[in-house]
Amino acid sequence: MSSIGKEIKRLREEKGLSQAELAVYAGSSQPTVNQIESGKRNPSTRTLEKLAGALEVEVADLFPKDQASLPFEESPVENSAERRDLIPLFDSYTLILTELSNGHESRIANLTEDFPPSKVLAIYQWVCEFIYTCDLIQHALDKKGITEIAGSLEERAAQGEYVPAEILHRVDVFQHAWSRLFIDVWTSANDWVQSQYARPEVVEYAERERARAQEELGEPESNVVSLFDPDREQRREKRRNTRREETG
């Protein structure tokens, strides 16, 4: 069972819901909920948002939690109970970060900046979905203080405070997985998106397709071209900053 699947199951059972009931509230199906909870299916960003809404929590709450109130600031990390909390905490997030990198790294590395405009729009959709998923994960990490905990443990060890080697190893692996995803893969994806915003022929093509969709369908928001917006990243960054302020 995946870490996210475990958390969804825990929240569902906490609310006294069956898989079928959660599926109804989330606009999904019982087999889909079952596969997600058992780790046989990775939920999309849209599915995570629907499940979070049905469970009356934020998307960040579907990610693994630190199981207890951990005394990071007050005492050495030397008792077995604290180790039992920290080790699965870092292992869970490392797995999430690694799986996301493994699933997208090669595809994003193979992107070129000179695709035909018609192909750009199709690629743009899944690249932005990946970027948005990364944003959700980083929001979860910020909200739960995971990166702050990792940095604090490294700092305390550097100052000579005893931190078990097994925990420092987990922190190092987590930091590597975080850097790989957000510094390497996420940056490459974002750079590609920005390169397409800078191509007049792509912007013009997107505008024509948007106008055509509006004329034919009357609902441009239902078409992928409505997502191609050069100002989108500025609004996303504004939302990121707002979330950071809200989470302290």
Q: What is the rounded CA–CA span in Å between residue 157 and residue 43?
A: 37
Per-residue confidence (pLDDT) for residue 146, from 0 to 100: 86
3-state secondary structure 216-235: HHCCHHHCHHHHCCCCHHHH
Per-residue confidence (pLDDT) for residue 106, from 0 to 100: 94
Residue 231 has pLDDT above 70, yes or no: no
Q: Which residue has the tokens 């739960």?
A: 144
- Asked if residue 68 belongs to a domain, the reply is no
What is the pLDDT of the chain when averaged over all its residues? 79
Q: Which tens digit of pLDDT belongs to each residue from 138-193?
A: 888 888 788 888 888 888 888 888 888 888 999 999 999 999 999 999 999 999 99
User: What is the end-to-end Cα distance of the chain in Å, rounded?
Assistant: 32
Per-residue confidence (pLDDT) for residue 78, from 0 to 100: 47
Residue 246 has pLDDT above 60, yes or no: no
CATH code assigned at 9:
1.10.260.40
Q: In this structure, are 87 and 57 located in the same domain? A: no
Number of domains in the chain: 2
Q: What is the rounded CA–CA span in Å between residue 209 and residue 220?
A: 9
**Interacting residues of 138 by C-beta distance below 8 A, sequence separation 6+:** 182
Per-residue confidence (pLDDT) for residue 145, from 0 to 100: 82
In this predicted structure, which of 56-70, 137-151, 190-204 has the lowest mean pLDDT?
56-70
Tokens of 194: 């920005």
Q: What is the rounded CA–CA span in Å between residue 127 and residue 111?
A: 10
Q: How large is the greatest C-alpha to C-alpha distance in the chain, in angstroms? A: 68
- Asked if residue 67 belongs to a domain, the reply is no
Residue 207 has pLDDT above 60, yes or no: yes
Domain boundary residue among 62, 88, 107? Answer: 62
Per-residue confidence (pLDDT) for residue 242, from 0 to 100: 56
List the one residue out of 65, 104, 126 whose CA is nearest residue 182.
Answer: 104
Q: In this structure, are 143 and 199 located in the same domain? A: yes
pTM for this prediction? 0.64
The SS3 call for residue 108 is helix
Q: What is the rounded CA–CA span in Å between residue 35 and residue 42?
A: 8
Enclosing domain of residue 233: 80-246
Per-residue confidence (pLDDT) for residue 71, from 0 to 100: 40
The SS3 call for residue 244 is helix
Q: In this structure, are 40 and 142 located in the same domain? A: no
Using a 10 angstrom Cβ sphere, with 0-12 exposed, 13-18 middle and 19 or more buried, the burial of residue 54 is buried
Which pLDDT band, with edges at 50, 70 and 90, does 233 fall under?
low
